[in-house]
């Protein structure tokens, strides 16, 4: 039995026309998800409401999926404010293998 698992590193970035944004997003603002850690760029701000909406999706996006699974094929998430035109692109980067320290 293997005690290792693979996760994708992720980059989440803001997309869209800033004229349609209602929230404080700016195109190009981004953060990375590396293992369990979220890393923000020094100049990036990120709405806590948008982050709260994205957080439940990120662990699922980190896991390898079957070819037909929508979690592996859909990469754009809308801002949780229905009046805001911002979108977030969740891009899978490289895969990293981890081991469970309990074994």
> Where are the domains positioned within the chain?
4-99
Say whether pTM exceeds 0.85. yes
What pLDDT was estimated at residue 89?
97
CA 65 to each of CA 8, 11, 34, 53, 61: distance values in angstroms, whole numbers, following the listed order = 11, 17, 18, 21, 8
pLDDT score recorded for residue 1: 65
Q: How far apart are CA 29 and CA 18, in angstroms?
A: 12
Listed as ranges, residues in the chain with pLDDT below 70 are: 1, 103
- What is the pLDDT at residue 47? 87
Predicted local distance difference test score (pLDDT) of residue 101:
73
pLDDT number for residue 85: 93
> What pLDDT is stored for residue 78 in this prediction?
95
């Amino acid at each position: 039995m293997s005690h290792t698992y693979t996760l994708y590193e992720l980059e989440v970035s803001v997309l869209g026309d800033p004229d349609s944004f209602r929230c404080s997003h700016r195109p190009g603002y981004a953060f990375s998800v590396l293992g369990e850690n979220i890393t923000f760029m020094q100049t990036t701000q990120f709405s806590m409401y948008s982050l709260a909406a994205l957080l439940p999706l990120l662990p699922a996006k980190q896991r390898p999926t079957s070819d037909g699974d929508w979690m592996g094929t859909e990469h754009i998430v809308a801002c949780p404010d229905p009046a805001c035109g911002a979108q977030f692109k969740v891009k899978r980067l490289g895969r990293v293998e981890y081991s469970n320290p309990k074994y």
